[in-house]
């Protein structure tokens, strides 16, 4: 499905919240959306690795990395695994790496930057808790939509207007 966030904002102004502009599109899909699964972690992508191993059809992984610019929470191997397992996309409030490979992967990926250093794996983080960044709270079960215009969140699934 192809989503156009300005059209969704126009059609559902009372439902959508717009994330502050700070994200760049890195994935092979420039538009994506789905039901939110959240991870809150800091410079440890153990939970990201666990989640991309799960079936992701219709879902988007929202990773609150605290905005850290010191480590990459997603790389090419995890992005490829997410795409293989049907995830619609991943939003990372933090950095990713392997951006050239991720750009060729059939997965939506938005992040605030790139960094070549991987994280430590300490098994620390929280799964499916409400996370807040960019002026918006992402709740598990809500919906997120992203394209080159930005990222929006809604409490229910939205359909593209005709």
Which residues, other chains included, contact 32 with Cβ-Cβ below 8 Å and sequence gap of 6+? 3, 60, 88, 89, 107, 108, 145, 146, 147
User: In the prediction, which pLDDT does 1 show?
Assistant: 83
What average pLDDT does the segment 88-108 reach? Answer: 98
> Which residues are 38's β-sheet partners?
62
The SS3 call for residue 76 is helix
Nearest 5°: the CA angle 38, 41, 43 is: 140
What is the 8-class DSSP label of residue 92?
Answer: E
Instruction: Tell me the C-alpha to C-alpha distance, in Å, between residue 114 and each of 24, 87, 92, 93, 142.
Output: 10, 21, 11, 11, 27
What average pLDDT does the segment 81-98 reach? Answer: 98
Q: What is the pLDDT of residues 28-43, one digit of tens each?
A: 999 999 999 999 999 9
pLDDT higher than threshold 90 for residue 25: yes
pLDDT higher than threshold 90 for residue 101: yes
Average pLDDT value for the chain: 97
Are the beta carbons of 44 and 123 closer than 8 angstroms? yes
Maximum alpha-carbon separation in the chain: 47
Predicted TM-score of the model (pTM): 0.97
Cβ atoms within 10 Å, residue 49: 17
What average pLDDT does the segment 107-136 reach? Answer: 96
Q: What is the pLDDT of residues 39-59, one digit of tens each?
A: 999 999 999 999 999 999 999
User: In the prediction, which pLDDT does 27 show?
Assistant: 97
- Chain-centre distance of CA 43, in angstroms? 16
User: In the prediction, which pLDDT does 162 show?
Assistant: 87
């Amino acid at each position: 499905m192809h989503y156009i966030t300005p059209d969704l904002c126009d059609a559902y102004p009372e439902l959508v919240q717009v994330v502050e502009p700070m994200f760049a599109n890195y994935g092979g899909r420039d538009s994506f959306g789905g039901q939110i699964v959240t991870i809150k972690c800091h410079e440890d992508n153990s939970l990201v690795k666990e989640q991309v191993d799960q079936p992701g059809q219709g879902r988007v992984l929202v990773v609150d990395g605290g905005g850290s610019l010191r480590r990459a929470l997603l790389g090419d191997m995890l992005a490829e695994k997410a795409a293989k397992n049907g995830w619609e996309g991943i939003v990372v409030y933090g950095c990713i790496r392997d951006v050239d490979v991720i750009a060729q992967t059939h997965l939506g990926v938005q992040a605030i930057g790139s960094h070549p250093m991987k994280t430590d794996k300490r098994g620390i983080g929280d799964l499916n808790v409400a996370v807040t960044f960019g002026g918006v709270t992402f709740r598990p079960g809500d919906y997120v939509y992203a394209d080159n215009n930005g990222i929006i969140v809604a409490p229910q699934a939205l359909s593209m207007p005709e």
